Structure 1
Amino acid sequence: MTDSFRVFFQVVLLWLAGLGAATQFAKIAVPFAEISQLYPAHSDTIGWLLSIVSLIGVILGALSGAIAGRIGPSTLLISGLLLGGAMSLFQATELGFYVMLLTRVVEGLSHLAIVVAAPTLIAQITHGRARNAAMVLWSTFFGVAFALNAWAGLPMVARFGLTGYFLIHGLLMLLIAGIIYACRIRVDLEQSGSVGFGISEWVNAHVKAYRSPFISAPAIGWFFYTLTFVSLLAILPGRLPEHLSATIAGLMPLAGIVLSWLAVPLLLSVMSCVAVVSLGFALGIAILCAAFMGLPLAAVCVALFAVLGLVQGGSFAAVPELNETPEAQALGYGAMAQMGNAGNLLGTPILLAVLWRGGDAGVLAAVIGIYAAAITAHLWLARRRQACLQS
């Protein structure tokens, strides 16, 4: 096996681990009607089965990056896959609601471990253009997982029930963990030692991550991206005629994945990752402004999500571009996980409130403001990085 093929194989394995992590969300979100039928007495709190995973990410995201820097991303990744697989197998035993909720809290820990450790490993085993292409591939894991769960997962639920669905997910997670362990993907870290879980460690991880304009920049931009991504995917198709709604809803994330694949590797050969991210936000503003000038909403939906693919691919690639050491990269991906979960939690309630008060025009104007704030934040952080390099 040549070195290049070995690295390619390892990157695909790590991406598959990401699909398993994203399915921890998708396995509840996609068959949500079936999940609701499983717990009819808890209809008012059933949404927590989905959102509590994000809540764990908000609280522990930065700390998970620090832990990856201490124990090593390979160990963290395998632990996360084993824990996630075990939880899915346990969930296949038809648990009561509150026990199921507790397993989702544990899955939140598993999810964080995977989404911090896997891209850290990818960034270390790849270089140059191969790294850019690998990070673009990694950036698609969430959208691809949701698509696969919609296309293959729902028929699986119809045939085997939720028990079989959870069982298959758990077995696949354990299988991927075993293969990654056998591949012995290792990264040498500059720091090692015991890992703390107290308040001081939690505070120190946040201070270290967000004080640095190098570590924090991808995460800050990612917050503005996730603040609108899921919320717009939920809101915009419903503002379209009924015969278009489902089709456009399917095309929106697909457009982002396709443009990310086609354009981001080319753009990264002539631009920095942060510049690609800012370009994506700027093009998003231009498309939203075109909506006020008469561009049909269906075209706005697809075009907007297409250019957001630049933000998606550029943000993940920005972490290794701005941070050389595995420890700093782990902190960067931990901060991205934290800010991404925060954006997912806040985005839909905020934009729904804007929709109720300002209608469609209010939502589009609010999103323009969010993207303008993202560009401003990136410019400010770029000035801080320049000042650090000159001092």
Structure 2
Amino acid sequence: MIREKSDWFLILALWGAGLGAAAQYGKFSAVFDQLPAIYPQAGAALGLIVSSVGILGIFLGVAAGLVVTRVRYRRALLWALWIGAAISAFQALLPPLPWMLLSRALEGVSHLAIVVAAPTLISQLCAPKDRGLALTLWGTFFGVAFALLAWAGLPLVAWRGVPALLIAHALYMAGFALFLGARLQALRLDTPLPPLSAVQILRDHGVIYRSASISAPAIGWLFYTFCFVSILTVLPLYIAPQTRALVMGAMPLTSIAVSMTVGVALLRLMPAVWVVLIGFAGSALTMVWLWVMPGNAIACLALSGAMGLIQGASFAAVPQLNTNPETQAQANGAMAQMGNVGNTLGTPVMAVAAGAMGYAALPLLAGVAFVLGGSAHLILARRRRHG
């Protein structure tokens, strides 16, 4: 059924659940400097407390889309929220490191189910004219969650310690599970699906990445995520110390603001893929600017604004290119997979290149990645036009 009116109350609730999923990444990133005191013998393994949530996404992103489709979106979302709440409550006990790492890996499964099920449900709760706005809003969930963790989470930790933040996250996830369990209706599938098996998962990987419609948002997302975290990690070293904190704090906010204003306006005028292409082109041009004027504050903000167009429009492209919930879930699963690949590779590759080449590595590598992302979208668009 095509909705005439969007259910904004439920859409905002699903976005709120997405903030909880983003906090599954961010809650330990925000307190990373305090982890050595909790696990003094961990050494380099401390990094795994942050990254192990995403490692599973590299291997299970597409599988998550397939599983969520078969389990059903509402059921998968609610189970993921309850599991996430239980895991955060367990982590608040600050268990021994091996148990903490195991809990983080399991948390990755909860995270994947939420980021596949929630945007698929949001698409179905929208009138066609509102999908661009709703999915652009969804695309802000990481930036908003990390900002909230900095503004509210860190003061809570300073007051009551790391366990208080983990308990607060558990209560947040449980609260959304209760609310959405009472208000969210099951989404009926249009067609029966074959039973899930390892062979079926491998076959569906091929189907997804051969499809110029299902794979397109994910392929572009790979190049975006390769640049996003790596730029935020490496760029501050080259910004003047007196403006560094201000610029780095303003960049995510600029990205969100441009995504929700300029991005939403453009989505009402043109297809989402073209907005993504404008974002890639603008990002590549700002890397030329940053090459000529290293660390320039205005160029940094222009870069974050251009990347904001990619961020929001990539999610909006999913329902535009894929009209039924099953293929939308596959596309969202592929985005989760490619996003984790990009996040995992981007920072170490950029850091090694910057160590060997200095500052020039950043605009060169990021600029090439933005050009490749835009080129990939153009190639896939041409494939769609020719059948």
The TM-score with structure 1 as length reference comes to 0.95
Determine the structure 1 residue equivalent to 2:240.
Answer: 241
Counterparts of 2:252 and 2:303 in 1: how far apart (Å)? 10
Offset at residue 41 of structure 1 (A): 0.4
> Residues 375 and 193 of structure 1: is their aligned pair in 2 closer, same or farther, counting only changes over 3 Å?
closer
Determine the structure 1 residue equivalent to 2:357.
Answer: 358
> Residues 144 and 137 of structure 1: is their aligned pair in 2 closer, same or farther, counting only changes over 3 Å?
same
Counterparts of 1:301 and 1:64 in 2: how far apart (Å)? 35
Report if the CA contact (8 A) 1:85-1:169 is conserved: yes
Determine the structure 1 residue equivalent to 2:116.
Answer: 116
Counterparts of 1:278 and 1:364 in 2: how far apart (Å)? 18
Determine the structure 2 residue equivalent to 1:166.
Answer: 166
Give SS of 1:47's match.
Answer: helix
Counterparts of 1:359 and 1:313 in 2: how far apart (Å)? 31
Answer yes or no: is 1:85 the counterpart of 2:85. yes
Report if the CA contact (8 A) 2:6-2:125 is conserved: no
1:49-96 Cα distance to aligned partner (Å, 9 max, x none) = 111111111110001111122221111111110110110011111211
> Residues 241 and 299 of structure 1: is their aligned pair in 2 closer, same or farther, counting only changes over 3 Å?
same
Determine the structure 1 residue equivalent to 2:326.
Answer: 327
Report if the CA contact (8 A) 2:255-2:307 is conserved: yes
> Residues 194 and 162 of structure 1: is their aligned pair in 2 closer, same or farther, counting only changes over 3 Å?
farther
Offset at residue 194 of structure 1 (A): 7.4
Counterparts of 1:51 and 1:285 in 2: how far apart (Å)? 28
1:249-260 alignment, distance < 5 Å: 249-260=248-259
Counterparts of 1:10 and 1:160 in 2: how far apart (Å)? 33
1:185-213 Cα distance to aligned partner (Å, 9 max, x none) = 322112446753x5313312311211111
Counterparts of 1:194 and 1:170 in 2: how far apart (Å)? 35
Offset at residue 281 of structure 1 (A): 0.6
Offset at residue 235 of structure 1 (A): 0.9
Counterparts of 1:201 and 1:36 in 2: how far apart (Å)? 43
Give SS of 1:385's match.
Answer: helix
Report if the CA contact (8 A) 1:218-1:332 is conserved: yes
1:227-275 Cα distance to aligned partner (Å, 9 max, x none) = 0001101111121122221111111111100000111111011111000
Offset at residue 33 of structure 1 (A): 1.1
Answer yes or no: is 1:39 the counterpart of 2:60. no
Counterparts of 1:221 and 1:194 in 2: how far apart (Å)? 29
Offset at residue 102 of structure 1 (A): 0.3
> Residues 377 and 194 of structure 1: is their aligned pair in 2 closer, same or farther, counting only changes over 3 Å?
closer
Report if the CA contact (8 A) 2:239-2:295 is conserved: no
> Residues 36 and 296 of structure 1: is their aligned pair in 2 closer, same or farther, counting only changes over 3 Å?
closer
1:146-167 Cα distance to aligned partner (Å, 9 max, x none) = 0000110001111121111111
Determine the structure 1 residue equivalent to 2:304.
Answer: 305
The TM-score with structure 2 as length reference comes to 0.96
Counterparts of 1:366 and 1:94 in 2: how far apart (Å)? 39
Determine the structure 1 residue equivalent to 2:74.
Answer: 74
Answer yes or no: is 1:268 the counterpart of 2:299. no
> Residues 141 and 344 of structure 1: is their aligned pair in 2 closer, same or farther, counting only changes over 3 Å?
same
Letter in 2 for 1:49: I
Determine the structure 2 residue equivalent to 1:98.
Answer: 98
Letter in 1 for 2:149: N
Determine the structure 2 residue equivalent to 1:149.
Answer: 149
1:104-126 Cα distance to aligned partner (Å, 9 max, x none) = 01000000000000000001110
State which drifts further: 32-41 or 115-124. Answer: 32-41
Q: Which runs of at least 4 in structure 1 moved beyond 4 Å after TM superposition?
A: 3-6, 192-195
Give SS of 1:46's match.
Answer: helix
Counterparts of 1:380 and 1:234 in 2: how far apart (Å)? 30
Letter in 2 for 1:321: Q
Report if the CA contact (8 A) 1:87-1:170 is conserved: yes
Give SS of 2:44's match.
Answer: coil
> Residues 348 and 327 of structure 1: is their aligned pair in 2 closer, same or farther, counting only changes over 3 Å?
same
Give SS of 2:270's match.
Answer: coil
Letter in 1 for 2:285: A
Give SS of 1:44's match.
Answer: helix
Determine the structure 2 residue equivalent to 1:283.
Answer: 282
Counterparts of 2:157 and 2:4 in 1: how far apart (Å)? 38
Determine the structure 1 residue equivalent to 2:55.
Answer: 55
1:360-375 alignment, distance < 5 Å: 360-375=359-374
Tell me the percent identity.
41
Give SS of 2:335's match.
Answer: helix
Offset at residue 296 of structure 1 (A): 5.4
Report if the CA contact (8 A) 2:238-2:294 is conserved: no
Offset at residue 127 of structure 1 (A): 2.1
Letter in 2 for 1:203: L
1:253-302 Cα distance to aligned partner (Å, 9 max, x none) = 11100000111111011111000001001011111212334475222211
Report if the CA contact (8 A) 1:70-1:192 is conserved: no
Offset at residue 359 of structure 1 (A): 1.4
Report if the CA contact (8 A) 1:224-1:343 is conserved: yes
Offset at residue 312 of structure 1 (A): 0.4
Report if the CA contact (8 A) 1:319-1:332 is conserved: yes
Counterparts of 1:209 and 1:34 in 2: how far apart (Å)? 41
1:7-46 alignment, distance < 5 Å: 7-46=7-46
Provide the aligned length of Structure 1 versus Structure 2. 385
**Unpaired segments ≥5 residues, structure 1:** none
Supply the RMSD in Å over aligned alpha carbons: 1.6
Determine the structure 1 residue equivalent to 2:132.
Answer: 132
**Unpaired segments ≥5 residues, structure 2:** none
